[in-house]
Amino acid sequence: MRPRTAVVDLDGVLYTADTFAALAIHQYQRSPARALAVAASAPRLARDWRHEHLRPGVLRTLATRAVAGMTRPAYDALARKLADQMARSSRVAWDGVAVLRGLHDSGWRVIVATASEHELAAAYLRGIGLEEVELVASHLDPASGRFIVHNHGEEKVRQLELIGCPRWDRAYTDSLSDLPLLAGAEHPVLVNASAALTRTTAERLGTTPEVVRWNARKPR
């Protein structure tokens, strides 16, 4: 008999911002040359941003250009350093951490499925005490500035199947890009969702998801 399974997004769910975007911003702030190189592409990126289906590509371009040319050891060290800072920040969704710990301790299989980069996400999960949960994340070649696996949208479902998880009982997310995860869950859950997001998700799923509020108050 398979254990009950919960699949959980990271950005906006366990961390109240985008982890890899934070790493990219860190790099641009410290490297004017990188920022200027991206600025040259600003008109095209701004044009693409107007189209919802192109926005993931814009974000991917901005993120990968921020680290392109780094060696693997240098990138991993940076990812671990910033993840440690994130884990000690006020952006940790401690309510969500408590829920996942409870599920894991009750025998559930808990998998964090994120578009964020693997080393960064793994270090963040260690920092907030969730090192025992499974992780399915994007894989990056920092030298070329390219994702080997970009774990976004439908790709999350494929990567979950590759680790032997074709079905899951619950899915937690705050994003419409995770509709494939929500559609595959017996119990879809939106985290900190607005009324508009809840309504749109319900229309596309054909069922109304549960909405939960996870805040960042650290437990005493």
**Rounded CA gap, 91 and 13, in Å?**
10
> What are the structure tokens assigned to 10, written together?
């990271």
The residues, any chain, with a CB within 8 Å of residue 38's CB and separated by 6 or more, are 28, 45, 62, 65, 66
What pLDDT is recorded for position 111? 98
Q: Is the distance from CB of 14 to CB of 8 less than 8 angstroms?
A: yes
Q: Please calculate the CA angle 204-210-213 and round it to the nearest 5 degrees.
A: 120
**Rounded CA gap, 158 and 58, in Å?**
23
What pLDDT is recorded for position 73? 97
Q: Is the distance from CB of 212 to CB of 193 less than 8 angstroms?
A: no
What pLDDT is recorded for position 37? 67
No. of helices (H) and no. of strands (E), the chain = 10, 7
Of 197, 131, 155, 125, nearest in space to 60 by CA: 155
Domain spans of the chain? 5-212
What pLDDT is recorded for position 42? 67
Of 51, 72, 61, 55, nearest in space to 20 by CA: 61
What pLDDT is recorded for position 54? 66
Of 40, 29, 23, 45, nearest in space to 138 by CA: 23
Name the pTM for this structure: 0.90
> What are the structure tokens assigned to 135, written together?
């992780």
3 state SS of 207: coil
3 state SS of 1: coil
What pLDDT is recorded for position 45? 66
Percentages helix, strand, coil for the chain (3-state, rounded to 5) are 50, 20, 30
- Homologous superfamily of 5-212 in CATH? HAD superfamily/HAD-like (3.40.50.1000)
Q: Is the distance from CB of 185 to CB of 168 less than 8 angstroms?
A: yes
The size of the chain, in residues, is 220
Q: What is the full per-residue pLDDT of the chain (220 aa) written as tens digits? A: 778 999 999 999 999 999 998 998 888 888 777 776 676 676 776 776 677 666 776 777 777 888 888 999 999 999 999 999 999 999 999 999 999 999 999 999 999 999 999 999 999 999 999 999 999 999 999 999 899 999 999 999 999 999 999 999 999 999 999 999 999 999 999 999 999 999 999 999 999 999 999 987 766 6
